[in-house]
Amino acid sequence: MNNSKESPSLRVPSAGATGTVALSWRGSSLELLDQRLLPAQERWITLESASGVAQCIQDMVVRGAPAIGISAAYGVALAARHAEGGDWQAEIKLAIRELSASRPTAVNLFWALQRMERVCDGCSSLSEAQKQLADEAVAIHEEDLAANLAMAEHAIEAMGLSAGAGTSVPISVLTHCNTGALATGGYGTALGVIRRLHENKLLKRVYADETRPWLQGSRLTAWELMRDGIPVTLNADGAAAAILATGEVRWIIVGADRITANGDVANKIGTYSLAVLARFHKVGFMVVAPSSTVDMALESGAEIPIEERDGSEVREIRGISLAPEGVPVFNPVFDVTPANLIDVIITEKGAVRNPDVQGMRDLFG
């Protein structure tokens, strides 16, 4: 990682209906908006190596399942640019191994890297690989944005809302973590659906869980939504039950890091408790994720590797201590929501209602 600077002018691909962008490919470098500093500072980091990209994924400069996959793909393209003439394929594969060790839970990372590796295997010269790998990374990025836009349409339909003027009463929803333009190729998954509800005048209000301990909800989601003028109310995670008890919220809408063959969903820690609350309060529970998040090779959520991060994320905030020094901490950053608590999974290929093995197989083979 090297020189950081204020916001560059952005390109490739466009961010859909929002001006917020997490990453920008420059042909010879990748620029990442440093999400650790938001909302206080908008600072961009320029990367010219795969190692730098791997470090940024691990440190959460860039985060969110699709954005991690896209960044890793650009990381492979950077590795190809810097490969020497000799065993260039071995050099690129070494970079792929390093990138794949950056975070364990979001399957989009491994999906993107496998796709890049297949392209690398099909190239017969380094110059061909440099071009093909850069093109493939841009394609992965563009496809993710297109998937987000398609998912927003499927989700509105699955909720039984119609976009025609005045035909459906605006609803309130609750979301967790950040699943917006910052977490994807642009627009967002769950937040893309919320964005589309707002565009269609179908959104009354979105409640955003702050999402302890990394605060993706307060630092990122609230920031993204306020930038776009979407009505958002921030709440402590523990307030979700009280909000649902008022009866105002119709749907809880979340993203995913990995969805297994039986419809179980790994997502940000706290998602599982929301699904339990939703069932108790008879509120719809929707998961929105591109098919690159689906892992049909795993039978159930019990097989998903759950990342545990350093206890300092819980013990302190920006170096300020919130707990006794040295207190042991359990900090799993994802949990698994069982399929039977989910009403519908939305992907760009369509919806799986009441997900189970058969429903998943019907859509994903």
Binding residues for ligand MRU (CB under 6 A) = 63-66, 106, 177, 179, 183-184, 189, 216, 255-257, 267-268, 333
- The least CB distance from residue 333 to ligand MRU, in Å, is 5
Reported as type and span, the H/E element at residue 35 is none
- The least CB distance from residue 46 to ligand MRU, in Å, is 21
Other CB atoms within 10 Å distance of the CB of residue 312: 14
129 vs 177, which CB is nearer to ligand MRU? 177
- The least CB distance from residue 75 to ligand MRU, in Å, is 16
80 vs 254, which CB is nearer to ligand MRU? 254
184 vs 337, which CB is nearer to ligand MRU? 184
For 352, list phi and psi in degrees, rounded to 5: -115, 110
Which residue among the candidates 144, 228, 257, 343 is catalytic per the annotation? 257
Q: How far apart are CA 111 and CA 256, in angstroms?
A: 14
64 vs 284, which CB is nearer to ligand MRU? 64
Q: Is residue 185 within 8 Å of residue 144, measured between CB atoms?
A: yes
Q: Any catalytic annotation for residue 362? A: no
Q: How far apart are CA 247 and CA 224, in angstroms?
A: 26
Residue 176, sorted as left (phi over 0), alpha (psi -120 to 50) or beta, turns out to be beta
- The least CB distance from residue 162 to ligand MRU, in Å, is 26
Cis check for the bond before 13: say yes or no (omega within 30 of 0).
yes
Residue with tokens 């960044």: 71
121 vs 308, which CB is nearer to ligand MRU? 308
- The least CB distance from residue 106 to ligand MRU, in Å, is 6
Closest residue to ligand MRU using C-beta atoms: 255
Residue closest to 73 by CA, chosen among 31, 136, 23, 26: 136
Q: Label residue 43 exposed, middle or buried (CB < 10 Å: 0-12, 13-18, 19+).
A: middle
Return the structure tokens found at 302.
Answer: 């019990």
Q: Is residue 151 within 8 Å of residue 196, measured between CB atoms?
A: no
* Residues belonging to the active site: 257
